[in-house]
Structure 1
Amino acid sequence: MQNRILFHNGKSLEVPVIQGGMGVGISLSSLAGAVMKEGGMGVISAAHPGYQKPDFWENSMICNIQAMHEEIAKAKEWAQGKGLCGVNIMVASKDYEFYVKAAVNAQADAIISGAGLPMHLPAIVKDADILLAPIVSSGRAAKLILKTWDRHHHRLPDFIVIEGSLAGGHLGFKKEDLITNKAEPLEKILADVKALLPEFEERYQRQVPIFVAGGIYDAQDIRHFCDLGAAGVQMGTRFIATQECDASPAFKEAIVQAQKEDIELVKSPAGLPGRAVMTDFMRQVKEKRIAPSHCIGCMLPCKPATTPYCISEALIHAVHGEVEQGLVFAGANAWRITEIVTVKQLMDELKAAFI
């Protein structure tokens, strides 16, 4: 099975495994650099990488931009010239354009963008030498992006990430469809997106690799989707349970100890359904609103006066180790994880899919 992917700008990915971007502080330079060193794409989340800086609550955007530069540089140093460094940036972020420009200036290799449709991403990066990838959860979303980027920006995505309904964190599906299991399966979305590409690939004379995400757990899953035409996969939750993950030991242990019944759909102030390991805090949120003690206005859809809770505070509590007072996003298969391993061990297991 072919594994190395050569992108149109000459950059290549030796192992077509993308480590999903996980904020706040779950995927920073330690995790991303370790994945890169094994030939994959390590991804730093732009969702508050500067949360540990002393003036974060007063100057969050500046702290985050400083941290992005620092974390990208450290990841590349750790990787010793191997792999690619991506940055995951949410369209729903109030400071989206500033974070995109910061990723370009920090010389990231790729921007992966979801939690909304990144319609204007090419206009922000202009002619910068950086790979651009939208995250989509339907053929309809992919079609809209392909047509918009073609018509208004005269370019194609460099690759596409399809995120299915079994993913952790924010989900691009209606909550009722998730509850009733009516969300389209990942296989169907992959087929729909693949069917859209030939017209655009012919026009631009290059291919657009597709990476699938959401519920991908092992080499068998990878082989299944590659047989269906995916170029590779994006995985988040499994990388939490690694020694190099930037989260606290308590956060990682929450993933390892989670049972199937502990993983539920949750309400997010971002206006999207999410999936997480249930904690005391999230159980309280089911019953009542917990007003934010800080507000930095970080998410466009979030209204401080009515938000059910502050997602930034909840994520920061969790990543610091105060798990029961916070939010632990996780994929539907998190319950299958039983131990913490090194990134090398995990990547070696996943590489078996491409032999």
Structure 2
Amino acid sequence: MNKELKFGDRKATVPVIQGGMGVGVSLSGLAGAVASAGGIGIISTAQIGFRDPDFDKDPAAANIRAIHEEIKKARQTAPEGIIGVNIMVATKPYYAYVKAAVDAGADLIISGAGLPLSLPGLVKGSRTKIAPIVSSAKSASVICKMWDRKARRAPDLVVIEGPKAGGHLGFHRDQLQDMDALDYDTEIKNILTVIREYENKYQQPIPVAVAGGIYTRSDMDHALSLGADAVQMATRFVTTYECDAHPNYKQAYLNAAEEDIIIVDSPVGMPGRAIHNRFVDEAALNLHRPTRCHKCLEHCDPAHIPYCITDALVRAVNGDVDHGLLFCGTNAARADRIEHVRDILQEFRL
């Protein structure tokens, strides 16, 4: 590890960040287990309060309560570990969720699905560290320039999310269909050049984690050889005993073949990677038109979308894998067994 993943008096002993997976796939169970085993555990705040009895009536309030509850439970599991949250910029009550995470004592906020330009001001005066997710040198430059100019600070960590990641992706569909042509290793090096500029300016280490397509130790070793300090990994953690998803969700990963991993269109116009199932086919035929709005994403118009992404993700995480959306990374088909988090992190220990 070139730079330590250290946040205050807490330090990761394994250079692995567990990626945030919503809805409900990475809550306190998974994040706490990862943090207690030496990695960085990340809770996804995406509709995190979906089990709250008042979720349908006031989803924002339910989510804020759940942010506090899940961070508290993860901290009980890993009192000395690093517990963070993933908060999407595209979330409607973004400011309120960031404030809740800070108030609940999150060590780290990782933020993508948009440019988190306002994030420094929202955490000012707190001990919570902040990390943008970037997919290009251009987005890294825009974020760093804005944080430098308006907040006089640099990121505490940067996550580079490549085209092999799961869920919503910051790439065009044609790029995802020919990933070799992207030459993403070169893009990673270009992003690192941008980050090192601000590292030098502020005379502080800025660890960089590479995400997307990380599944084995050799994948991490390749990322480190490019100059990264750590990796962020999500798909591998789905098929663990500690993952918060329903057993049916994990079994869908175990059952998936390479040809089942496809690119789908999200209701908000972004491409995403998921496991092909009955729901994907039915959504393409407009058989899942939304009947209510959960007020989750800024740029979602319920009157003109093929399905509600909240409902689709909730059905999946609750075990209805035929009628839900199963986001995944490119390596989902490699899963062949249920593992313990501690065993995975032992593989990645330097």
> With structure 1 as the length reference, what TM-score do the two structures score?
0.95
Letter of the structure 1 residue corresponding to residue 332 of structure 2: A
Is the partner of 2:160 in helix, strand or coil?
Answer: strand
Q: Distance in 2 between matches of 1:124 and 1:5?
A: 22
Q: Which residue of 1 aligns with 2:195?
A: 197
Question: Displacement, 1:4?
Answer: 4.1
Partner of 2:6: 6
Percent of aligned pairs with the same residue? 48
- How far apart are residue 234 of structure 1 and its match? 0.3
1:328 is matched with which residue? 326
The 1-side partners of 2:274 and 2:302 are apart by 22
Cα offsets for 1:158-214 (capped at 9, x unmatched): 010000000000100011221233663441222011111333222211121110000
Match of residue 154 from structure 2:
156
Offset of residue 289 of structure 1: 5.6
Please give the alpha-carbon distance, in whole angstroms, between the structure 1 residues aligned to 2:203 and 2:2: 20
Secondary structure of residue in 2 paired with 1:152: helix
Letter in structure 1 aligned against 2:23: V
Measured after TM superposition, the shift of residue 269 of structure 1 is 1.8
Q: In the aligned structure 1, how far is the partner of 2:150 from the partner of 2:22?
A: 31
Structure 1 counterpart of 2:19: 20
Equivalent positions of 1:242-261 (< 5 A) are 242-261=240-259
Q: Deviation of residue 290 (structure 1)?
A: 2.4
The one-letter code matched in structure 1 to 2:259 is: E
Give the distance between the partners of 1:3 and 1:206, measured in 2 at CA.
10
Describe how 1:136-155 pairs up with structure 2 within 5 A.
Answer: 136-155=134-153
- Structure 2 match to 1:220: 218
The worse-fitting range, judged by mean Cα deviation, of 195-204 and 111-120 is: 195-204
Give the structure 2 partner of residue 179 of structure 1: 177
- 1:72·1:108 contact (CA, 8 Å) conserved in 2? yes
Range 321-330 or range 201-210, more displaced: 201-210
2:111 corresponds to which residue? 113
SS at match of 1:212: strand
TM-score w.r.t. the length of structure 2 is 0.97
Cα distance in 1, alignment partners of residues 246 and 52 from structure 2? 17
Query: Residues 261-305 of structure 1, C-alpha deviation per residue, up to 9 Å, x if partnerless?
Result: 011001112321100001111111123362112212211111110
Specify the SS of the correspondent of 2:87. Answer: strand
Q: Which residue of 2 aligns with 1:98?
A: 96
Match of 1:305 in 2: 303
In structure 1, list runs of 5 or more residues that go unmatched: none
Q: How does 1:248-327 map to 2 (within 5 A)?
A: 248-288=246-286, 290-327=288-325
Unaligned runs of at least 5 residues, structure 2? none
Q: Which residue of 1 aligns with 2:165?
A: 167
How many pairs are equivalent?
350
Distance 1:89 1:48 in 2: 10
What is the distance in 2 between the residues matched to 1:321 and 1:289?
20
Secondary structure in 1 aligned to 2:316? helix
CA gap 1:317/1:190 in 2 versus in 1, 3 angstroms? same
Deviation, 1:11, is 4.1
Cα deviation 1:210-233 (Å, max 9, x = unaligned) = 100000110011111112110000
